[in-house]
Amino acid sequence: MVQGDQEIRKGPWTEQEDILLINFVHLFGDRRWDFIAKVSGLNRTGKSCRLRWVNYLHPGLKHGKMTSQEERLVLELHNKWGNRWSRIARKLPGRTDNEIKNYWRTHMRKKAQERKKGVNNSPSNSSSSNSESSSSTVTTGDSFHFSKTGTRSFYDTGGSSDDHAAAAAAAAAAVIAFPGSNLDDNYQGLEGYDEKGFYSMDDIWKDIDLSEEKNMMIKPICPPIPSSSWEDCFWDDSLWKMDEFDESKNMILPQIDENGIGKANLTG
DNA sequence: AAAGGTAACAACCGCCATATG
DNA sequence: CCATATGGCGGTTGTTACCTT
């Protein structure tokens, strides 16, 4: 990857990239993707950054198997709205349109196969045919390919948890020094960076885990007590609560303008 | 134990809508 | 009002893990 006319990176995200992105989203909010893409030094398109954030890194996401209620809801809503994945996703807190889409695809394929079999073997068989009401365990086995300890098995080419701190530090350095420079350069001299400043994937997953366990329901928009976790500070599940009004979502994110001055609000 | 098939899911692509100059 | 940039959405593909034979 040459920096001058560097080609845009594609493919799986590394852990360093993830952390870098998380931190820059923390700093600049989750709207200005092109800007973030440039400023972060990630050789990714803004689009790619957004996708990664929305589908994977977002703190409010649930990572795991769909519950039977969710499955039922998906079926129900899809029946109602068709392939309006994003709309369906809004009704499923913590689930992304991509996830639901994937789920549906798999589900339908399975159903189609079952139906085929049913037709071939016993035409009167209706056990699996009603796709609207079959809320049974559709997702079998597998389902979750990475551990929340930050060591993803899926695709991951990323480094150890030491790299997290380095990447986090790189984010900080990059903010100050406005990069364009090689990421590796940004890591230099920043070893042992205190992870309290930025969060490693470990921490992030831990927090997500906790919040999931504590409440599958909705978090208050403003946490009563300042949390040590950055996403608690600026993230709430309002996004997932949004129904028809998601245009009005105003995430309260710390933001730093081009002069490096923090602002409280974000684009509306 | 190895091979093949399938499931799951991340990520990309193209199109469209909206925002901005 | 028009052109361009950016973001969002749905469809599709590619890769890996798991299961079955």
Nucleotide nearest to A142 (CA to C1'): C18
- Give the pLDDT of residue A232: 39
Q: Find the residue closest to C14 using CA and C1' atoms.
A: A11
- Give the pLDDT of residue A55: 85
- Give the pLDDT of residue A159: 37
Nearest to A204, CA basis, from A192, A212, A214? A212
Answer yes or no: is A12 CB < 7 A from strand B: yes
pTM: 0.61
CA distances from A264 to A29, A177, A245, A250 (A): 10, 22, 22, 11
Distance A257 CA to C6 C1' (A): 19
- Give the pLDDT of residue A6: 60
Beta-bridged to residue A256, according to DSSP, are A262
Q: Find the residue closest to C18 using CA and C1' atoms.
A: A142
- Give the pLDDT of residue A12: 83
Answer yes or no: is A155 CB < 7 A from strand B: yes
Distance A47 CA to B16 C1' (A): 15
Instruction: Write out which nucleotides of chain C lie closer than 7 A to a protein Cβ.
Output: 5-13, 15-19
Tell me how far apart the terminal alpha carbons of chain A are, to the nearest angstrom. 35
Answer yes or no: is A83 CB < 7 A from strand B: no
User: Average pLDDT by consecutive 10-residue portion of chain A (268 residues)?
Assistant: 56 85 83 83 85 83 79 82 83 84 78 60 39 34 34 36 43 44 38 40 53 40 33 41 38 36 32
Distance A50 CA to C12 C1' (A): 19
Backbone angles phi, psi at A214, to 5 degrees: -65, -55
Beta-bridged to residue A255, according to DSSP, are A263
Strand C: which residues have Cβ below 7 Å from it? Answer: A 31-35, 46-47, 50-51, 54, 83-87, 97-98, 101-102, 105, 141-142, 145, 153-155, 246
- Give the pLDDT of residue A144: 32
In our burial notation (b when 16+ CB lie closer than 10 A, e otherwise), range A40-64 reads: bbbbbbeebbbbbbbebbbbbbbbe
- Give the pLDDT of residue A207: 54
Distance A10 CA to B11 C1' (A): 8
- Give the pLDDT of residue A115: 61
- Alpha carbon distance A3, A1 (integer Å): 6
